Amino acid sequence: MKNHFFKLTFIALLIPFFSFCNSASEQETPHFDLPDSGIEIADAWARPGRDNGVSAIYMHVLNGSAETDTLIAFSSPVAGLVELHETYDRGDGMMGMRESEEPYFPARSVVSMQPGGLHVMLMQLNRPLNEGDDVELTLTFSGAGELTITAPVRSPN
């Protein structure tokens, strides 16, 4: 009886987590007018993080060019390691996170990086990231070249 109680309690605690994952990954992408050419970034923001911890940056990448572009490098002065990650279904009823192997941005499209999906991970933070701070991120694309953005730090809505 006691073991059954703990299983039910554990399952009850996981329900809000799975609801958050599903709602985050099913968020609608807002409408954006694509640039005439090249890459533009819209609505970038970063999660708070503690010193030597991790954070994530979310944004919409607008590719207005006629060619698919590839993200080939990224860096941030606040992190020792920066990677493009994706959230995925591990197949056991749990979600996982892994480095994205295909950082492609199709021609004339919007790719949304949002909680529960594709995102830029900031690891080995060299300072805390608090709400109201700004985070600089440099993205290097094979076609569009280097693009530096500033993302405000805020908690998820």
What is the DSSP code string of 70-110?
EEEEEE-TTEEEEEEEEEEE-SSS-EEEEE-S--EE-TTEE
Q: What is the mean pLDDT of residues 32-61?
A: 94
Q: Using pLDDT thresholds of 50, 70 and 90, give the confidence band for residue 84.
A: very high
Rounded distance between C-alpha atoms, residue 15 and residue 105, angstroms: 33
Smallest CA-to-CA distance from 108 within 75, 66, 145, 60 is with 66
Instruction: State the pLDDT at residue 5.
Output: 41
Q: Would you state the pLDDT for residue 134?
A: 98
Dihedral (Cα; 80, 103, 56, 75), 10-degree rounding: 30
Among 37-41, 88-92, 129-133, whose mean pLDDT is lowest?
88-92
| Average confidence (pLDDT) over 38-57 | 97
Of all helices (H) and strands (E), which one includes residue 138?
Answer: strand 134-141
Distance of CA 21 to the CA centre of its chain: 13
Could you give the percent of the chain with pLDDT greater than 70? 81
Q: In angstroms, rounded to a whole number, what is the distance separating the alpha carbons of residues 59 and 65?
A: 18
Q: What is the pTM of this model?
A: 0.78
Mean pLDDT across the chain: 83
Most confident listed range (22-26, 28-32, 47-51): 47-51
Contact status, residue 113 vs residue 89, Cβ threshold 8 Å: no
Which CATH number is 2-152 given?
2.60.40.1890
Q: By 3-state DSSP, what share of the chain in percent is helix, strand and coil, each rounded to 5?
A: 15, 45, 40
Which segment, 19-23, 57-61, 95-99, is predicted with the most confidence on average?
57-61
